[in-house]
A and B are shown apart, each in its own frame.
Chain A
Amino acid sequence: MSGAGKRFSKLQVFSDVELEVGEREVLAIIGPSGCGKTTLLRCMNGLIPLTEGEITMEGEAITSPREGVAMVFQHFGLFPWKTVFNNVAYGLKLAGATRAQIDEKIPEYIKLVGLSGFEHYYPYQISGGMQQRCGLARALAVEPRVLLMDEPFGAVDAQTREILQFEMLRIWESRPTTMVFVTHAIDEAVLMGDRVLVLKGRPSTVHEIVEVDLPRPRNRATLLLPRFAELREHVWNTLMADARQAELEVIR
């Protein structure tokens, strides 16, 4: 991945977003609700078109979903009529894998995300956390060079969310890819990202890009580092200045 530079404006959701994501870099995108984080990510996937500017990957403009990119959705997006196994195999199957390749690879990814033994369960039979593990395995199974995460842990409860964050770090450590991680949780952004992009304003623009110089591999101990708290405070203050202003607007 050579990097991506882009500029946008879509119904003034965001505009003039310029950035580049390096190979195997984790970029966390954070911003207040409704600032267009998810829209930006969908544009990166090519699910919706830009109205201005362009996004390129490996030198090619993204106009529709392309090979080498996979997305994990906030709503999980599992198919209720498919078992865990078939859900995980979905992307790989569409990519043209043979039955033998699927039978060989899918168990590996199911094991990686910790779902062994649940291959033949249907999504409604497993918990929200397990459903998202399944969604993650489906994305990883196509061996993407870029992984797009759309508030992946936004729909699970707080404890599961923490568990999944550390699982995600473990999995990323075992097969690092370029990752764009959209979240509205500051801790999560700082914990995951090599850089944290703060998106805000109306229309949203890149307000600040915070370098996260925390050592990898990261784990629970990372949360206790003074530097973690410092970065967390910094991002918090950056975001809150805006939130307070928004609140004042409402009061007036």
Chain B
Amino acid sequence: MTAQTVAAARSPVPDAERSSWVTSPLFLKIAAGIVLLLIWEGVVRAFAPGYVAKPSGIVRVFAAVISDRQFLSAAGQTLSAVLIGLLISIVFGTAVGFAMGRINVVERGLRYYVNSLFATPMIAILPLVTLWFGYNADARLAVVVFAAFFSISTNACDGARSVPLEYLEVAQSFRARPFQTLFDIIFPSSLPYLLAGLRLAAGRALVGAVVAEFFVSIPGLGYYILYNSRTFKHNEAFIAVIVLVAVGVSFEALINWLTRRYLPWARRD
């Protein structure tokens, strides 16, 4: 009887869904996108001056901008600053986080400072950074590291602290040396935390790089956007925005893929 009820209740729903391709997720996504672009195009044409970015204008300049050497070099500089900054943050942030997570003295000493710096808006220290590093690429790198470092170290600390005692007991029982325990147990056990920290850090690093370029006026996607906006080339500026969005989204996708591929166990705990 239960089986019958279930079958009866179920059958109408899939039928209704199957009958119409209009409700398929892919169609809805594309349709909503087209509608939004049309509204944008229409509003700009009706009310805004000619230089304001609109979809048709972006499409028109897209090929030229994407193959423009100046644009490519700007993109390369911003992205390499983000990647190098993230790399530095991963290495040192993880080291500091693990030290805090596993050594009580370090944790007690550093906790308030790391938490405060994690909460500090990096834009607020930007003027100071330019004083320390000068108006150059080092200032941008410093802002990226500052933006990314603390979300990684905070997560590494949480990860190292949440290593189940059972694992450490097993390691001790099998006579693991401290550095073996670090690489065999603390590191893999903290990986889900580290990836969560990295996801957060990547977003902050990207923001940091762009804001630093605005402020310091060094070549990069942020500066490209600023310069083109001020010279009424909004379509060109918008392509840099699209590239930044694409980078952010692909990084997110990369981390999700890594988690699924290499940490299949992490979701089961």
Contact = CB atoms under 8 A, between A and B. Distances in A.
- Mutual binders A and B: yes
Contact of A79 (B167, B169, B175): B167
Interface string B238-269: 00000000000000000000000001111011
Interface stretch (B10-18, B115-123, B185-193): B185-193
A94 B269 contact: no
Interface string A1-40: 0000000000000000000000000000000000000000
Nearest to A76: B166
A13 B263 CA distance: 41
Nearest to B264: A122
A81 B172 contact: no
B174 A90 contact: yes
B176 interface: yes
Per DSSP, chain B at the interface is helix
A70 B268 contact: no
Given A65-B175, A94-B174, A81 B166 contact: no
B173 A70 contact: yes
A79 B173 contact: no
A65 B173 contact: yes
Contacts of B184: 79, 90
Contacts of A52: none
B17 to A, nearest CB: 32
19 contacts: A47-B169, A65-B172, A65-B173, A65-B175, A70-B173, A73-B169, A73-B170, A75-B166, A77-B166, A79-B184, A80-B265, A80-B266, A81-B265, A81-B266, A90-B170, A90-B174, A91-B174, A94-B180, A122-B265
Interface of B: 166-167, 169-170, 172-176, 180, 184-185, 188-189, 191, 263-266, 268-269
Interface of A: 45, 47, 64-67, 70-71, 73, 75, 77, 79-81, 90-91, 94-95, 122-124, 142
